[in-house]
Chains A and B, each alone.
Chain A
């Protein structure tokens, strides 16, 4: 198979992204100032980290819509640990651990009890969000030590480190998905759990694993987002799950499992993260933004489906 057929979906997203970038060169060259590109990348970093986890979840034929609520809880955990006087690395580890535990909760319910992921995570999404609201009344975690913002590394380092770290996470997982048995097990589980089981993969363990990884990466995403500020908003991350899932499916990962790649997800994240500011640069009114974002999602998936539909017909 040629590169074009195996990576058709990634190429079509890349093409769409290319069109957007060219439009910006023509109509809003100011978009390409260094500071703006940096800010777009910093803003995209938490979404990318979570999208890495979501790609694994969807590849394993699952879904997790609770990550917005997890995101809020992990940020609050990091803030509270830092406020309690613990060193920032410990607070950071706390956020990841909190995420991993919440992911494990989803994982036990889905893999252990065999319950459908979309309903389980609908329940944890609502339950966790309301429990957090009840506990905090939305009051922010404030008066944090000065070392909280940028983890004490300062703004200049922090603004490079955040997207850098996100890219490192992405690259490591992308490499692992190609070259490690665990990565192939995720694909196998998502393609056909029964066949996977017969070839020695343990699908339930894989499913549990992807939820834990999803949670831990959500914790990391929350941390990377929280440390850009001096205090922690408690009810953050509303709608985060939709942004992440949209990025992953626009990037071509099949909701039916087993098909997709992290390259596609990276492109999906970049496309959606660029689209928001790009619309402002192109002079769009804010109140049309949501509609245009819906159009971008639909066009990306419909173009692909249209392509495969015509190809199917052309087949003898």
Chain B
């Protein structure tokens, strides 16, 4: 019992100290704005490179950048991080959204508490955020990818997709759009199978190996998550099939060797470092009030003046890496 009493005294003591800090109110006051930025998940090279750009911008703006996100794949985790940030008190929250239906409630709650909310990389429902830093719409991604596949197939023939996990929300949205684009523009192209890779390169490799044998007529493999691009490319390379090409959505560092081998035709992506950089600039401008309805251009450090369309900040259209330009990019 004495121990318990001691513990309570200790608790009371430290709480006194804690209350002082908690009383500081929203955000770090001495250090400028507190920008809380969340990737879809941690431990993913794609988001690691976004983070380098984000930190660069935070340094330039003298803002405090909190970078955290789920380490597990459960969709509830993003909500819990946002809840914590609401409690903590930050000036602006920037989220790369995994599940837009699930997260919109908690983002609206953040806005009702006076916290600015932007989304980046993947959007939520429009009324749940102030701005979306748009590097590519699902439609734009689908058009670009389907366009590459059509070019490789001559507009006619079979192709297959290697996706992330079967439940990955973004990939499923892209697939839906790809099917729409096929129906509209490329009726003679057929998507014969969609195989999961669970974001594991080895799994993508093995699924592609099997796929090529089960569907020998498939001439294009489209890998729509970043570990799947090198996985599918390696499988095609090892099979010795020179009539099969890979295209997809991936990082230039992963793609480079395969682009040069000629196995990988093209990898579609945007500059992830710039995406992180622009997100922090957008967050800062929204929180300081510089970016508000009616503004059509946002000064963003080394990126210059960036176009704003309505409630979207436009990074640019998706970029296609090929063997000719890939050496200019390192991320």
Interface residues on B, range: 20 to 34
* A138→B44 contact, CB < 8 A: yes
Residues of A within 8 Å of B230, CB to CB, are 229-231
Closest B residue by C-beta to A229: B234
Q: Which of B194-222 contact A (CB under 8 A)?
A: 194-196, 198, 200-202, 205-207, 209-211, 213-214
Instruction: Give the chain B neighbours of A239 by CB distance below 8 A.
Output: 198
B193 contacts partner chain A, Cβ-Cβ < 8 Å: yes
A287: nearest chain-B partner, CB-CB: B166
A-chain residues with CB within 8 Å of residue B44 when the two chains form the complex: 138, 235
A126 to chain B, nearest CB (A): 10
Secondary structure class of chain B's binding surface, majority of residues: helix
Q: Is the CB of B198 within 8 A of A155?
A: no
Residues in chain A near residue B71, CB distance under 8 A: 130, 133
Q: Are A286 and B193 in contact (CB under 8 A)?
A: yes
- B156-191, CB under 8 A of A: which get 1 and which 0? 000000000010000000000000000000000000
Q: Are B205 and A228 in contact (CB under 8 A)?
A: yes
Shortest beta-carbon distance, A100 to chain B, in Å? 23
Closest to A226 in B: B202
At the interface with chain B, which of A35-43, A49-57, A173-181, A248-256? A35-43
A124-B190 Cα distance, complex, nearest whole Å: 46
- A281-B210, A286-B195 known; A235 and B43 CB under 8 Å? yes
Task: Tell me whether B137 is interfacial, beta carbon within 8 Å.
Answer: no
Which chain B positions have C-beta within 8 A of A142? Answer: 253-254
- B208 CB to closest chain A CB (Å) equals 10
Q: Interface residue tally of chain A, by bracket?
A: 20 to 34
1/0 contact string of A228-267 vs chain B (CB within 8 Å):
1111011110110000000000000000000000000000
Report how far A33 CA is from B213 CA in the complex, Å: 9
The contact of A236 among B201, B206, B234, by CB within 8 Å, is B201
Q: Are A286 and B45 in contact, CB atoms less than 8 angstroms apart?
A: no
Nearest CB in chain A to that of B235: its residue: A39
Question: When the two chains form their complex, are residues A286 and B213 in contact, meaning their CB atoms are under 8 A apart?
Answer: no
Contact B45 A155, beta carbon cutoff 8 Å: no
Q: Which residues of A contact B (CB under 8 A)?
A: 30, 33, 35-36, 39, 43, 130, 133, 136-140, 142, 155, 159, 225, 228-231, 233-236, 238-239, 276-277, 280-281, 286-287
Q: Across chains A and B, which 9 residue pairs bring their CB atoms closest together, nearest first?
A: A138-B43, A133-B43, A137-B48, A277-B210, A233-B201, A39-B209, A280-B210, A139-B45, A138-B44
| Chain B residues in the interface with A (C-beta under 8 A) | 42-45, 47-48, 51, 71, 166, 193-196, 198, 200-202, 205-207, 209-211, 213-214, 227, 230, 234, 238-239, 253-254, 257
